Amino acid sequence: MATITQTLPPITNSARHALGFVMRDFYETAGQYLPTQHIQPKSQYAVARRTPKELTVIERPLWEQIPHEYDYFHPFFSDTPQFIGSYFARKYGSLYQEKGSKAANTYLRTCGLTRCAEVQEQYTIKDTGKSLIAQQFYKQLSTLPTLDKSDVNDLGADISSYMQNLIIKFLETDEFKLNDSEHELSIYKFALEQLKPLKITAPYFVDYQKGEINEQQIVIALAKLSDAKWWQNKLKRQWAFQREHLAIAAGQVQKSASPYASRTCVGEWKEQKRKNREWLKNQCIENVDTGEQFELALQVDKSNANPAIRRCELMIRMRGFEDIANEYDYVGAFITITAPSKYHSVHAAGGFIKNWNAGTPRDTQKYLCSVWAKIRAKLNRENLRIFGFRVAEPHHDGTPHWHILVFMHPKDKEQIHKIMRSYALDEDPFEPGAQQNRFKFVDIDPTKGSATGYIAKYISKNIDGYQLGNEIDDETGQNLKDMAKNVTAWSSRWGIRQFQQIGGAPVTVWRELRRLGSQKVENPIIDPVLAAADVGDWAAYTQLQGGATAERRDIVVRISYEAELNQFEEDVKKIKGVFAPILGAASFICTRLIKWAIVSNSKNRSDSDPRSSVNNCTEVKKSPQDDRREKVINELKKHQINYNPHQLNHLLAGRELKFSDKLLIKWVKDKLAVIDLRQKWSGIPPDIEWSF
Instruction: Name the residues annotated as catalytic.
Output: 454, 458
Q: How many helices (H) and strands (E) does the chain have?
A: 28, 15
Asked if residues 580 and 587 have their Cβ atoms less than 8 Å apart, the reply is yes
Backbone angles phi, psi at 91, to 5 degrees: -65, -40
**DSSP states along 187-203:** HHHHHHHHHGGGT-PPT
CA distance 334 to 526: 34
Backbone angles phi, psi at 636, to 5 degrees: -65, -40
CA distance 266 to 482: 12
Element (H, E) at 590: strand 589-590
Asked if residues 288 and 596 have their Cβ atoms less than 8 Å apart, the reply is yes
DSSP state of 411: G
Query: Which residues are CB-contacts of 100 (< 8 A; sequence separation ≥ 6)?
Result: 37, 38
Q: Is 513 helix (H, G, I), strand (E, B) or coil?
A: helix
According to DSSP, the β-strands at 283-287 and 293-295 are antiparallel
Residue length, the chain?
692
Q: Is 405 helix (H, G, I), strand (E, B) or coil?
A: strand
Q: Give the closest residue to 408 by CA, choosing from 398, 418, 396.
A: 418
**Strand blocks (E) in 117-235:** none
Backbone angles phi, psi at 543, to 5 degrees: -65, -45
CA distance 265 to 54: 30
Ramachandran class of 398: left when φ > 0, alpha when ψ lies in -120 to 50, beta otherwise: left
CA distance 330 to 443: 12
- Dihedral over Cα of 248, 250, 350, 90: its sign: negative
According to DSSP, the β-strands at 439-443 and 331-337 are antiparallel
Query: Which residues are CB-contacts of 611 (< 8 A; sequence separation ≥ 6)?
Result: 286, 597, 599, 600
Element (H, E) at 668: strand 663-668
Q: Is 447 exposed, middle or buried (0-12, 13-18, 19+ CB in 10 A)?
A: exposed
Q: Which long-range contacts (CB under 8 A, 24 or more apart) does 48-54 make?
A: 54/78
DSSP state of 180: -
Asked if residues 167 and 224 have their Cβ atoms less than 8 Å apart, the reply is no
CA distance 522 to 524: 7
CA distance 210 to 253: 40
Q: Is 250 helix (H, G, I), strand (E, B) or coil?
A: coil
Q: Is 38 helix (H, G, I), strand (E, B) or coil?
A: coil
**Strand blocks (E) in 503-570:** 558-565
